[in-house]
Protein backbone atom coordinates (compact mmCIF):
# COMPACT_ATOMS: atom_id res chain seq x y z
CA UNK A 1 0.00 0.00 0.00
CA UNK A 2 1.26 3.45 -0.82
CA UNK A 3 -0.20 6.67 0.38
CA UNK A 4 2.08 8.79 -1.77
CA UNK A 5 0.19 10.67 -4.45
CA UNK A 6 2.06 12.43 -7.24
CA UNK A 7 0.31 15.77 -7.21
CA UNK A 8 -2.21 18.00 -5.54
CA UNK A 9 -4.27 17.68 -8.68
CA UNK A 10 -4.57 13.92 -8.23
CA UNK A 11 -5.22 14.08 -4.53
CA UNK A 12 -8.10 16.54 -4.92
CA UNK A 13 -9.84 13.96 -7.08
CA UNK A 14 -8.81 10.95 -4.94
CA UNK A 15 -10.03 12.55 -1.74
CA UNK A 16 -13.47 12.85 -3.28
CA UNK A 17 -13.81 16.60 -3.05
CA UNK A 18 -17.17 17.78 -4.36
CA UNK A 19 -19.12 21.01 -4.62
CA UNK A 20 -20.25 22.31 -1.26
CA UNK A 21 -17.62 20.48 0.79
CA UNK A 22 -15.35 21.83 3.54
CA UNK A 23 -11.57 21.87 3.32
CA UNK A 24 -9.30 22.83 6.19
CA UNK A 25 -5.86 24.34 6.67
CA UNK A 26 -3.59 25.32 9.55
CA UNK A 27 -1.43 28.40 9.71
CA UNK A 28 1.97 27.41 11.11
CA UNK A 29 3.63 28.53 7.88
CA UNK A 30 2.04 31.91 8.48
CA UNK A 31 2.81 34.49 5.82
CA UNK A 32 5.15 32.07 4.05
CA UNK A 33 2.48 29.44 3.36
CA UNK A 34 2.17 28.08 -0.19
CA UNK A 35 -0.13 25.15 0.59
CA UNK A 36 -3.51 26.84 0.90
CA UNK A 37 -3.03 28.72 -2.34
CA UNK A 38 -1.78 25.65 -4.23
CA UNK A 39 -4.71 23.54 -3.08
CA UNK A 40 -7.34 26.20 -3.73
CA UNK A 41 -5.96 26.90 -7.15
CA UNK A 42 -6.28 23.20 -8.01
CA UNK A 43 -9.79 23.06 -6.58
CA UNK A 44 -10.73 26.07 -8.73
CA UNK A 45 -9.18 24.67 -11.87
CA UNK A 46 -11.13 21.43 -11.41
CA UNK A 47 -14.29 23.50 -11.55
CA UNK A 48 -15.44 22.87 -7.99
CA UNK A 49 -17.84 25.41 -6.52
CA UNK A 50 -19.31 26.42 -3.19
CA UNK A 51 -16.34 25.28 -1.14
CA UNK A 52 -16.14 26.15 2.54
CA UNK A 53 -12.65 27.00 3.82
CA UNK A 54 -11.99 26.32 7.48
CA UNK A 55 -8.55 27.71 8.27
CA UNK A 56 -7.03 28.27 11.70
CA UNK A 57 -5.82 31.65 10.37
CA UNK A 58 -5.58 33.48 7.07
CA UNK A 59 -2.69 35.80 6.27
CA UNK A 60 -1.97 38.34 3.58
CA UNK A 61 -0.24 35.62 1.58
CA UNK A 62 -3.69 34.06 1.16
CA UNK A 63 -5.14 37.05 -0.64
CA UNK A 64 -5.57 34.97 -3.86
CA UNK A 65 -8.63 33.56 -2.06
CA UNK A 66 -10.38 36.74 -3.15
CA UNK A 67 -10.43 35.53 -6.72
CA UNK A 68 -11.92 32.20 -5.68
CA UNK A 69 -14.58 34.04 -3.70
CA UNK A 70 -15.42 36.23 -6.69
CA UNK A 71 -15.67 33.16 -8.92
CA UNK A 72 -17.95 31.29 -6.55
CA UNK A 73 -15.35 28.62 -5.82
CA UNK A 74 -15.26 29.65 -2.17
CA UNK A 75 -18.54 30.67 -0.55
CA UNK A 76 -17.79 30.10 3.12
CA UNK A 77 -14.87 31.00 5.34
CA UNK A 78 -14.27 30.25 8.94
CA UNK A 79 -11.05 31.24 10.65
CA UNK A 80 -9.67 32.38 14.01
CA UNK A 81 -7.79 35.29 12.51
CA UNK A 82 -7.95 37.06 9.14
CA UNK A 83 -5.24 39.55 8.18
CA UNK A 84 -5.98 42.94 6.64
CA UNK A 85 -5.56 41.99 2.97
CA UNK A 86 -8.53 39.61 2.95
CA UNK A 87 -10.23 41.29 5.88
CA UNK A 88 -10.66 44.54 4.06
CA UNK A 89 -12.42 42.89 1.13
CA UNK A 90 -14.64 40.91 3.48
CA UNK A 91 -15.56 44.11 5.29
CA UNK A 92 -16.41 45.64 1.94
CA UNK A 93 -18.97 42.86 1.57
CA UNK A 94 -17.35 40.52 -0.95
CA UNK A 95 -18.97 37.44 0.59
CA UNK A 96 -22.60 36.55 0.57
CA UNK A 97 -22.40 34.40 3.67
CA UNK A 98 -20.89 35.96 6.82
CA UNK A 99 -17.44 34.75 7.76
CA UNK A 100 -17.34 32.76 10.99
CA UNK A 101 -14.68 33.73 13.49
CA UNK A 102 -13.78 31.29 16.24
CA UNK A 103 -11.06 31.20 18.85
CA UNK A 104 -8.03 28.91 18.76
CA UNK A 105 -9.79 26.82 21.41
CA UNK A 106 -13.29 27.08 19.98
CA UNK A 107 -12.22 25.90 16.53
CA UNK A 108 -10.87 22.49 17.57
CA UNK A 109 -13.71 22.16 20.07
CA UNK A 110 -16.26 22.51 17.29
CA UNK A 111 -14.31 20.13 15.06
CA UNK A 112 -14.10 17.50 17.80
CA UNK A 113 -17.78 17.92 18.68
CA UNK A 114 -18.78 17.52 15.05
CA UNK A 115 -20.30 20.97 14.77
CA UNK A 116 -17.94 21.97 11.95
CA UNK A 117 -17.24 18.77 10.04
CA UNK A 118 -14.26 18.80 7.68
CA UNK A 119 -14.33 16.79 4.49
CA UNK A 120 -10.67 17.09 3.58
CA UNK A 121 -7.91 18.46 5.77
CA UNK A 122 -4.68 19.57 4.15
CA UNK A 123 -1.71 19.43 6.48
CA UNK A 124 1.33 21.44 5.47
CA UNK A 125 4.15 19.31 6.87
CA UNK A 126 7.80 20.45 6.83
CA UNK A 127 8.81 16.76 7.06
CA UNK A 128 6.75 13.61 6.46
CA UNK A 129 7.38 9.95 5.73
CA UNK A 130 5.65 7.90 3.07
CA UNK A 131 2.89 6.78 5.44
CA UNK A 132 2.09 10.27 6.64
CA UNK A 133 3.87 10.45 9.97
CA UNK A 134 4.87 14.11 9.98
CA UNK A 135 6.42 16.92 11.96
CA UNK A 136 7.09 20.64 11.78
CA UNK A 137 10.44 20.45 13.52
CA UNK A 138 12.60 19.37 10.58
CA UNK A 139 13.16 20.21 6.93
CA UNK A 140 13.83 23.31 4.88
CA UNK A 141 10.43 24.80 5.77
CA UNK A 142 10.61 23.93 9.47
CA UNK A 143 8.04 25.80 11.51
CA UNK A 144 8.28 23.96 14.85
CA UNK A 145 4.97 23.03 16.40
CA UNK A 146 2.01 21.78 14.34
CA UNK A 147 -0.41 22.35 17.23
CA UNK A 148 -3.36 23.74 15.27
CA UNK A 149 -3.38 20.85 12.78
CA UNK A 150 -4.15 18.05 15.25
CA UNK A 151 -7.93 18.40 15.41
CA UNK A 152 -8.10 18.57 11.61
CA UNK A 153 -5.91 15.48 11.28
CA UNK A 154 -7.89 13.49 13.82
CA UNK A 155 -11.41 14.40 12.76
CA UNK A 156 -11.47 15.25 9.05
CA UNK A 157 -13.01 12.60 6.82
CA UNK A 158 -9.90 12.59 4.63
CA UNK A 159 -6.47 13.83 5.58
CA UNK A 160 -3.84 14.90 3.07
CA UNK A 161 -0.28 15.59 4.18
CA UNK A 162 1.62 17.91 1.84
CA UNK A 163 5.38 18.06 2.33
CA UNK A 164 8.56 19.32 0.70
CA UNK A 165 10.73 16.94 2.70
CA UNK A 166 9.61 13.34 2.16
CA UNK A 167 11.71 10.90 4.21
CA UNK A 168 11.75 7.08 4.39
CA UNK A 169 9.29 5.33 6.68
CA UNK A 170 9.26 5.61 9.64
CA UNK A 171 10.48 9.07 10.47
CA UNK A 172 11.54 9.61 14.07
CA UNK A 173 9.99 12.14 16.35
CA UNK A 174 6.79 12.69 14.38
CA UNK A 175 3.92 14.81 15.75
CA UNK A 176 0.97 13.72 13.66
CA UNK A 177 0.83 9.98 13.14
CA UNK A 178 0.11 7.83 10.11
CA UNK A 179 -3.10 6.32 11.47
CA UNK A 180 -4.89 9.59 10.78
CA UNK A 181 -3.43 10.22 7.33
CA UNK A 182 -4.90 9.10 3.99
CA UNK A 183 -2.55 10.60 1.43
CA UNK A 184 0.93 12.10 1.26
CA UNK A 185 1.81 14.53 -1.51
CA UNK A 186 5.41 15.59 -2.09
CA UNK A 187 5.78 19.07 -3.58
CA UNK A 188 8.77 21.24 -4.35
CA UNK A 189 8.12 23.78 -1.62
CA UNK A 190 5.37 24.18 0.98
CA UNK A 191 6.41 27.68 1.89
CA UNK A 192 8.88 30.50 1.89
CA UNK A 193 11.02 30.17 5.02
CA UNK A 194 11.33 33.96 5.21
CA UNK A 195 7.62 34.32 5.80
CA UNK A 196 7.31 31.27 8.06
CA UNK A 197 9.49 32.32 10.97
CA UNK A 198 11.31 35.53 11.65
CA UNK A 199 15.02 35.55 12.38
CA UNK A 200 15.07 37.07 15.81
CA UNK A 201 12.12 38.97 17.13
CA UNK A 202 13.44 42.20 18.59
CA UNK A 203 12.01 43.83 21.66
CA UNK A 204 10.67 47.27 21.02
CA UNK A 205 12.89 50.34 21.11
CA UNK A 206 9.88 52.59 21.21
CA UNK A 207 10.04 54.50 24.52
CA UNK A 208 6.28 54.31 25.03
CA UNK A 209 6.37 50.56 24.48
CA UNK A 210 9.15 50.21 27.02
CA UNK A 211 7.27 52.21 29.62
CA UNK A 212 4.19 50.02 29.13
CA UNK A 213 6.34 46.88 29.32
CA UNK A 214 7.91 48.04 32.54
CA UNK A 215 4.48 48.76 34.04
CA UNK A 216 3.26 45.33 32.91
CA UNK A 217 6.19 43.57 34.57
CA UNK A 218 5.53 45.53 37.76
CA UNK A 219 1.85 44.58 37.71
CA UNK A 220 2.82 40.91 37.48
CA UNK A 221 5.44 41.31 40.19
CA UNK A 222 2.86 42.77 42.58
CA UNK A 223 -0.08 40.56 41.58
CA UNK A 224 0.71 37.89 44.12
CA UNK A 225 1.02 35.36 41.30
CA UNK A 226 4.75 35.67 40.72
CA UNK A 227 6.10 32.82 42.82
CA UNK A 228 7.47 29.34 42.25
CA UNK A 229 5.19 27.49 39.85
CA UNK A 230 4.26 30.69 37.98
CA UNK A 231 2.92 30.20 34.43
CA UNK A 232 2.90 32.80 31.70
CA UNK A 233 1.91 33.55 28.12
CA UNK A 234 2.65 36.57 25.97
CA UNK A 235 2.18 37.57 22.37
CA UNK A 236 4.96 38.45 19.96
CA UNK A 237 4.28 42.19 19.90
CA UNK A 238 7.21 44.48 20.70
CA UNK A 239 5.91 45.74 24.03
CA UNK A 240 4.80 42.24 25.13
CA UNK A 241 8.26 40.87 24.42
CA UNK A 242 9.84 43.73 26.32
CA UNK A 243 7.54 42.90 29.23
CA UNK A 244 8.75 39.28 29.09
CA UNK A 245 12.33 40.53 29.19
CA UNK A 246 11.66 42.72 32.23
CA UNK A 247 9.75 39.86 33.86
CA UNK A 248 12.72 37.58 33.29
CA UNK A 249 14.99 40.08 35.06
CA UNK A 250 12.64 40.14 38.05
CA UNK A 251 12.35 36.33 38.17
CA UNK A 252 16.12 35.93 37.97
CA UNK A 253 16.70 38.49 40.68
CA UNK A 254 14.18 36.88 43.01
CA UNK A 255 15.17 33.33 42.08
CA UNK A 256 11.63 32.36 41.06
CA UNK A 257 11.18 29.14 39.07
CA UNK A 258 7.96 29.10 37.12
CA UNK A 259 6.16 26.01 35.84
CA UNK A 260 5.52 26.78 32.18
CA UNK A 261 5.56 29.40 29.48
CA UNK A 262 3.02 28.96 26.72
CA UNK A 263 1.61 30.11 23.44
CA UNK A 264 3.06 31.23 20.28
CA UNK A 265 6.63 30.73 21.44
CA UNK A 266 9.36 33.28 20.73
CA UNK A 267 13.07 33.30 21.45
CA UNK A 268 12.36 35.38 24.55
CA UNK A 269 10.38 32.56 26.16
CA UNK A 270 13.13 30.16 25.11
CA UNK A 271 15.64 32.43 26.88
CA UNK A 272 13.46 32.29 29.97
CA UNK A 273 13.33 28.49 29.81
CA UNK A 274 17.09 28.26 29.42
CA UNK A 275 17.64 30.74 32.25
CA UNK A 276 15.59 28.53 34.57
CA UNK A 277 12.54 30.81 34.75
CA UNK A 278 10.30 27.90 33.66
CA UNK A 279 10.41 24.13 33.90
CA UNK A 280 8.84 23.75 30.47
CA UNK A 281 7.34 25.46 27.45
CA UNK A 282 3.99 24.39 25.99
CA UNK A 283 4.07 25.27 22.32
CA UNK A 284 1.15 25.43 19.93
CA UNK A 285 3.09 27.54 17.41
CA UNK A 286 6.65 28.84 16.96
CA UNK A 287 7.27 32.43 15.97
CA UNK A 288 11.00 32.50 15.35
CA UNK A 289 14.04 30.38 14.50
CA UNK A 290 15.16 30.17 18.09
CA UNK A 291 11.82 28.66 19.10
CA UNK A 292 12.03 26.13 16.25
CA UNK A 293 15.57 25.17 17.26
CA UNK A 294 14.46 24.79 20.87
CA UNK A 295 11.41 22.60 20.24
CA UNK A 296 13.59 20.34 18.09
CA UNK A 297 16.38 19.92 20.64
CA UNK A 298 15.05 20.58 24.13
CA UNK A 299 12.74 17.95 25.63
CA UNK A 300 11.42 20.53 28.10
CA UNK A 301 9.93 22.41 25.15
CA UNK A 302 6.74 20.47 24.29
CA UNK A 303 4.49 20.64 21.28
CA UNK A 304 0.82 20.73 22.28
CA UNK A 305 -2.35 20.50 20.20
CA UNK A 306 -4.87 23.33 20.00
CA UNK A 307 -7.26 21.08 21.97
CA UNK A 308 -4.79 20.80 24.82
CA UNK A 309 -3.91 24.47 24.49
CA UNK A 310 -7.32 26.02 24.67
CA UNK A 311 -10.37 23.91 23.85
CA UNK A 312 -13.25 24.58 26.24
CA UNK A 313 -14.54 21.02 25.74
CA UNK A 314 -11.26 19.20 26.37
CA UNK A 315 -11.11 17.28 29.67
CA UNK A 316 -8.63 19.96 30.61
CA UNK A 317 -6.84 22.68 28.67
CA UNK A 318 -3.55 24.35 29.51
CA UNK A 319 -5.08 27.84 29.44
CA UNK A 320 -6.95 26.87 32.61
CA UNK A 321 -3.64 26.41 34.42
CA UNK A 322 -2.31 29.76 33.24
CA UNK A 323 -1.49 32.45 35.81
CA UNK A 324 -0.78 35.47 33.61
CA UNK A 325 -1.34 36.32 29.97
CA UNK A 326 -0.31 39.55 28.23
CA UNK A 327 -2.53 40.47 25.28
CA UNK A 328 -3.06 43.29 22.81
CA UNK A 329 -6.10 45.30 21.73
CA UNK A 330 -7.11 47.66 18.97
CA UNK A 331 -9.88 48.99 21.19
CA UNK A 332 -11.04 48.42 24.75
CA UNK A 333 -14.20 49.88 26.20
CA UNK A 334 -15.02 51.12 29.67
CA UNK A 335 -16.48 47.68 30.45
CA UNK A 336 -13.09 46.18 29.49
CA UNK A 337 -14.49 44.46 26.38
CA UNK A 338 -11.65 44.09 23.89
CA UNK A 339 -11.67 44.32 20.12
CA UNK A 340 -8.92 42.59 18.17
CA UNK A 341 -10.97 41.89 15.05
CA UNK A 342 -11.33 45.26 13.35
CA UNK A 343 -9.16 48.33 12.84
CA UNK A 344 -10.02 51.90 13.68
CA UNK A 345 -12.05 52.24 10.50
CA UNK A 346 -14.06 49.09 11.08
CA UNK A 347 -12.18 46.86 8.63
CA UNK A 348 -11.40 43.29 9.64
CA UNK A 349 -7.67 42.94 10.31
CA UNK A 350 -7.22 40.22 12.87
CA UNK A 351 -9.21 37.98 15.11
CA UNK A 352 -9.21 36.44 18.52
CA UNK A 353 -6.71 33.68 17.93
CA UNK A 354 -5.99 32.59 21.49
CA UNK A 355 -7.01 35.96 22.94
CA UNK A 356 -10.38 34.93 24.37
CA UNK A 357 -9.20 31.48 25.41
CA UNK A 358 -6.23 32.66 27.43
CA UNK A 359 -8.17 35.61 28.85
CA UNK A 360 -10.86 33.20 30.03
CA UNK A 361 -8.35 30.78 31.50
CA UNK A 362 -5.65 32.96 33.03
CA UNK A 363 -5.91 34.24 36.59
CA UNK A 364 -4.59 37.61 35.41
CA UNK A 365 -5.37 38.79 31.87
CA UNK A 366 -3.55 41.94 31.00
CA UNK A 367 -3.94 44.14 27.95
CA UNK A 368 -0.99 46.28 26.89
CA UNK A 369 -1.89 49.14 24.56
CA UNK A 370 -0.88 52.78 24.12
CA UNK A 371 -3.39 55.44 25.20
CA UNK A 372 -3.80 56.32 21.55
CA UNK A 373 -2.53 55.23 18.17
CA UNK A 374 -2.38 57.82 15.43
CA UNK A 375 -4.62 60.14 17.45
CA UNK A 376 -7.26 57.47 18.05
CA UNK A 377 -7.92 56.72 21.71
CA UNK A 378 -7.66 53.07 22.72
CA UNK A 379 -10.43 53.35 25.31
CA UNK A 380 -13.92 53.84 23.89
CA UNK A 381 -17.44 53.80 25.27
CA UNK A 382 -18.20 50.66 23.31
CA UNK A 383 -15.91 48.54 21.16
CA UNK A 384 -16.82 48.04 17.51
CA UNK A 385 -16.66 44.31 18.07
CA UNK A 386 -16.49 42.28 21.28
CA UNK A 387 -13.66 39.86 20.60
CA UNK A 388 -13.09 39.05 24.26
CA UNK A 389 -15.69 39.93 26.89
CA UNK A 390 -14.67 42.41 29.57
CA UNK A 391 -15.51 39.93 32.31
CA UNK A 392 -12.36 38.02 31.28
CA UNK A 393 -10.04 41.05 31.26
CA UNK A 394 -8.39 42.15 34.49
CA UNK A 395 -5.98 44.97 33.73
CA UNK A 396 -5.25 47.51 31.00
CA UNK A 397 -1.70 48.86 30.93
CA UNK A 398 -1.04 52.09 29.02
CA UNK A 399 1.78 54.61 29.21
CA UNK A 400 -0.59 57.01 30.92
CA UNK A 401 -1.75 54.73 33.70
CA UNK A 402 -2.97 51.27 34.63
CA UNK A 403 -6.71 50.60 34.72
CA UNK A 404 -7.89 47.64 36.77
CA UNK A 405 -11.25 46.00 36.15
CA UNK A 406 -13.30 47.04 39.19
CA UNK A 407 -14.18 43.39 39.86
CA UNK A 408 -10.58 42.95 41.08
CA UNK A 409 -10.82 44.80 44.37
CA UNK A 410 -7.86 43.13 46.02
CA UNK A 411 -5.58 43.48 42.99
CA UNK A 412 -6.37 47.19 42.78
CA UNK A 413 -5.28 47.63 46.38
CA UNK A 414 -2.12 45.59 45.90
CA UNK A 415 -1.07 47.59 42.85
CA UNK A 416 -1.86 50.90 44.50
CA UNK A 417 0.15 49.91 47.55
CA UNK A 418 3.06 49.11 45.23
CA UNK A 419 2.98 52.71 44.03
CA UNK A 420 1.85 51.88 40.50
CA UNK A 421 -0.10 54.57 38.62
CA UNK A 422 -3.62 53.16 38.93
CA UNK A 423 -6.35 55.05 37.11
CA UNK A 424 -10.07 54.49 36.62
CA UNK A 425 -10.75 53.43 33.03
CA UNK A 426 -13.30 56.23 32.57
CA UNK A 427 -10.72 58.75 33.75
CA UNK A 428 -8.16 57.23 31.42
CA UNK A 429 -10.60 57.68 28.56
CA UNK A 430 -11.18 61.31 29.46
CA UNK A 431 -7.48 61.95 29.97
CA UNK A 432 -6.75 60.49 26.54
CA UNK A 433 -9.49 62.46 24.82
CA UNK A 434 -8.16 65.66 26.37
CA UNK A 435 -5.00 64.95 24.36
CA UNK A 436 -6.51 63.60 21.16
CA UNK A 437 -9.95 65.15 20.99
CA UNK A 438 -13.07 63.01 20.80
CA UNK A 439 -13.24 61.02 17.59
CA UNK A 440 -16.40 61.12 15.52
CA UNK A 441 -18.28 57.81 15.45
CA UNK A 442 -17.99 55.88 12.22
CA UNK A 443 -21.02 55.15 10.10
CA UNK A 444 -21.93 51.48 10.52
CA UNK A 445 -22.94 49.25 7.66
CA UNK A 446 -26.27 47.45 7.62
CA UNK A 447 -25.05 44.02 6.59
CA UNK A 448 -23.38 41.43 8.78
CA UNK A 449 -20.11 40.33 7.18
CA UNK A 450 -18.78 38.24 10.04
CA UNK A 451 -20.02 36.39 13.09
CA UNK A 452 -17.78 36.27 16.13
CA UNK A 453 -18.41 32.97 17.87
CA UNK A 454 -17.33 32.92 21.49
CA UNK A 455 -15.17 30.10 22.75
CA UNK A 456 -18.18 28.32 24.17
CA UNK A 457 -20.03 28.35 20.86
CA UNK A 458 -22.24 31.35 21.61
CA UNK A 459 -22.72 34.10 19.04
CA UNK A 460 -20.74 36.77 20.86
CA UNK A 461 -20.95 39.60 18.37
CA UNK A 462 -21.30 40.39 14.69
CA UNK A 463 -19.19 42.60 12.42
CA UNK A 464 -20.94 44.89 9.96
CA UNK A 465 -19.77 45.87 6.54
CA UNK A 466 -17.87 49.12 6.08
CA UNK A 467 -20.01 51.34 3.86
Partner 1 sequence: MKIVRSASAGTMESSDAYIEIEPATGLEIQLESVVQQQFGQEIRSAVEEMLRENGVEDASVRIIDRGALECVIRARVETAILRGKGEN
Partner 2 sequence: MRRSMLFLPGNNPNLLINGNCLGADAVIFDLEDAVSPAEKDAARILVRNTMRYMDFGGCERIVRINSTDTPYWKLDIDAILPQKPNLILLPKTSSAQDVLEVDAYITKVEESLGMERNTVGLMPLIETAMGVENSYLIASATKRVQALFLGAEDLTADLQCKRTKESREIEYARTRLIVAARAAGVEVYDTPFTDVNDDEGILADATLAKALGFTGKASISPRHVEVINSVFSPTQKEVDYAYEVMEAIALAKEQGKGAIALHGKMIDAPIVTRAQQTLAMAQALGMERGN
Which residues lie near partner 2 (CB under 8 A)?
207-208, 210-211, 214, 371, 399-400, 419, 434-435
In the 8-state DSSP scheme, what is residue 440? Answer: P
208 binds, among partner 1, partner 2, none (CB under 5 to 8 A by kind): partner 2
Quick one: how far is CA 323 from the chain centroid? Answer: 19
- Name the 3-class secondary structure at 295: helix
Q: Going residue by residue from 299 to 338, which x/- string records binding to partner 1, judged by CB under 8 A?
A: ----------------------------------------
Are 59 and 33 in contact by the 8 Å Cβ rule? The answer is yes
Nearer to partner 1, 1 or 374 (CB): 374
Rule CB under 8 A: is residue 275 a binding residue for partner 1? no
Nearer to partner 2, 375 or 382 (CB): 375
Nearer to partner 1, 228 or 381 (CB): 381
Q: Which range in 273-281, 350-358, 374-382, 391-399 contacts partner 1 by CB under 8 A?
A: 374-382
Q: Going residue by residue from 333 to 372, which x/- string records binding to partner 1, judged by CB under 8 A?
A: -----------xx---------------------------
Nearer to partner 1, 140 or 439 (CB): 439
**Distance in angstroms (rounded) separating the CA atoms of residues 66 and 311:** 30
Binding residue for partner 1, selected from 94, 189, 376, 448, defined by CB under 8 A:
376
* Spatial CA neighbour of 156 closest among 136, 183, 131, 133: 183
Quick one: how far is CA 18 from the chain centroid? Answer: 30
In the 8-state DSSP scheme, what is residue 337? Answer: -
Give the nearest distance from C-beta 1 to partner 2 in angstroms: 58
Query: 254-276: buried (b, 16+ CB within 10 Å) or exposed (e) per residue?
Result: eebebbbbbbbbbbbbbebbeee
448 binds, among partner 1, partner 2, none (CB under 5 to 8 A by kind): none
Nearer to partner 1, 103 or 342 (CB): 342
Q: Is the dihedral of CA 371, 377, 381, 383 positive or negative?
A: negative
Q: Is the dihedral of CA 428, 319, 280, 265 positive or negative?
A: negative
Rule CB under 8 A: is residue 382 a binding residue for partner 1? no
Binding residue for partner 1, selected from 252, 275, 409, 442, defined by CB under 8 A:
442
Binding residue for partner 1, selected from 37, 414, 436, 456, defined by CB under 8 A:
436
| Residues contacting 413, CB < 8 A, separation 6+ | none
Give the nearest distance from C-beta 131 to partner 1 in angstroms: 52
| Residues contacting 464, CB < 8 A, separation 6+ | 346, 444, 445, 446, 447, 448, 449
Strand 459-464, strand 158-163: pairing:
unpaired
Rule CB under 8 A: is residue 375 a binding residue for partner 1? yes
Which positions lie near partner 1, rule CB under 8 A? 344-345, 373-376, 435-437, 439-440, 442
Amino acid sequence: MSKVVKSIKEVVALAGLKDGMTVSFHHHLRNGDFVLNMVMEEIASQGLKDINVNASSLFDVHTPLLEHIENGVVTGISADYIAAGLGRAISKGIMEKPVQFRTHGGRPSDIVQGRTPIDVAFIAAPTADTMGNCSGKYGPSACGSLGYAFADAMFAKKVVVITDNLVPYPMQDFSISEDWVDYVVPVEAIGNPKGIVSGTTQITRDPVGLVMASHAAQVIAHSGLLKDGFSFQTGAGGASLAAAKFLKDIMMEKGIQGSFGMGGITGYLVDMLQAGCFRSLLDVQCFDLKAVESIRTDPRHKEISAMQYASPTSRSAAVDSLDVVILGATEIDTDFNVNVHTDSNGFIMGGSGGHSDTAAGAKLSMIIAPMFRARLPIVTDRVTCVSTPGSDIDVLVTQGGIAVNPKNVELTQQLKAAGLPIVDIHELKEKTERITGTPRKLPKGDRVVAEVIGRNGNLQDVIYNVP
